[in-house]
Amino acid sequence: MALCRAACDQRGHTAEVIATRTPEEATETARQAHESGAAAIFGCGGDGTLSSILQGLPVGSSTALGAVPLGTANVWAYETNLPMTPMAAISSQLAALEGREGSSIWIDTGRVWSTNADGSVASQRFLLMASWGLDAAAVNGIAGSDRRRGMKRMLGEPAYFLSAVQEAIGRKAWPIAFSLDGAPPRTVEVGLMTVGNTRMLGTWLEVNPKATVVDGELDLLMFKGAPWRALALSPFARHGWLPHGPGVSNHRFRRLEMTPLKETPPMQIDGEIGPATAYAIDIEPQALKALCPVPTSEVLGG
């Protein structure tokens, strides 16, 4: 916290440092920052922290999102080539805010729609990626196991791969029907389907190599067959090879609708457990102002 204040003081900016203990507190802090007209809000943590902040920023908010990478994977920082040390990350993004190095740019976000127990409709925004199937099962497995959470603290990002290996054992594919942009539904059995606003699943699996956050579309990568097939194909997730793998299909869309035909596949949103009743995903074009000191990064369309 002292580093955050010092970085702002060095560049002549007034900063309020607020410690949040829950995702809900981070969301409320972001809402207050927007309502007060703050120029920017920085999330000190990982991608889950940024996701919590995003929920409190209305579409089109003039409060820009910045990141201080202190989490497990820090995918947003990795994708946008942010410095990985707190002082350097803050300083470079403040330079973007000032227009001295990079800029504040408008980027797309995604929105997941779900139903509540009473039948009402709920939604949750995402910055990076949402997925159904094996990846989500791995996220849920870590959240539901003290041993796996300990493994995450010890190993960091590789703990998710080990959790995915455990979840893949004995699992069958999930039969679903899906529709893109209002087309007639198609039926398929999937082990994993990722919906990316950005390219990377973690910092080592490039599942959507052509995705950018400025194209007004989302990228769907679908692995047909049992979940273990997605694990077997994971070595192809480098250098843009994965979309051309056997039993893999990729699509670009603005709206996806999904209906489970038997067991509902687990879901994750930006690395956190998603709603079991999610049924659709929309793109929100140019919905979020983000601080981007390196606007030439691939995910920003550079």
Read off the tokens for 268.
């994750």
> Is the per-residue pLDDT at 150 higher than 80?
no
Round the average pLDDT of the chain to a whole number and report it: 90
Give pLDDT, residue 121. 97
Domain that holds residue 162: 110-285
One domain, residues 76 and 162: no
One domain, residues 241 and 269: yes
pTM for the full model? Answer: 0.91
> Is the per-residue pLDDT at 107 higher than 80?
yes
> Is the per-residue pLDDT at 242 higher than 70?
no
- For 140, 143, 260, 268, the CA distances from 265, given in Å and listed in that order, are 11, 16, 7, 10
Is-contact 165 231, C-beta < 8 A? yes
One domain, residues 12 and 120: no
- For 141, 143, 148, 173, 272, the CA distances from 160, given in Å and listed in that order, are 9, 11, 9, 20, 12
Give CA 137 to chain center in angstroms.
16
Most confident of 143-152, 163-172, 212-221: 212-221
One domain, residues 75 and 101: yes
What is the domain count for the chain? 2
One domain, residues 207 and 227: yes
Is-contact 89 64, C-beta < 8 A? no
Read off the tokens for 195.
């919906």
DSSP, collapsed to helix, strand or coil, labels residue 69 as strand
Q: pLDDT digits over 173-208, tens only?
A: 999 999 999 999 999 999 999 999 999 888 778 888
One domain, residues 80 and 99: yes
Instruction: Tell me the C-alpha distance between 82 and 69, whole Å.
Output: 8
Q: pLDDT digits over 26-85, tens only?
A: 999 999 999 999 999 999 999 999 999 999 999 999 999 999 999 888 999 999 999 999
- pLDDT above 90 covers a percentage of the chain that reads 63
CATH of the domain at 114: 2.60.200.40
One domain, residues 76 and 174: no
Give pLDDT, residue 157. 75
pLDDT tier for residue 93 given thresholds of 50, 70 and 90: very high
Q: pLDDT digits over 120-141, tens only?
A: 999 999 999 999 999 889 888 8
Q: pLDDT digits over 207-239, tens only?
A: 888 899 999 999 999 999 998 888 877 777 666
91 contacts: CB under 8 Å, gap ≥ 6: 7, 10, 11
One domain, residues 40 and 118: no
The residue with tokens 């960091």 is 156
229 contacts: CB under 8 Å, gap ≥ 6: 191, 223, 247
> Is the per-residue pLDDT at 7 higher than 90?
no
Instruction: Tell me the C-alpha distance between 200 and 221, whole Å.
Output: 12
Give pLDDT, residue 101. 81
Can you tell me the mean pLDDT for 107-112?
A: 98
> Is the per-residue pLDDT at 146 higher than 90?
no
One domain, residues 245 and 124: yes
> Is the per-residue pLDDT at 23 higher than 80?
yes
Can you tell me the mean pLDDT for 268-296?
A: 95
Is-contact 104 84, C-beta < 8 A? no
Is-contact 76 292, C-beta < 8 A? no
Residue 103 phi/psi, 5° resolution?
A: -165, 175
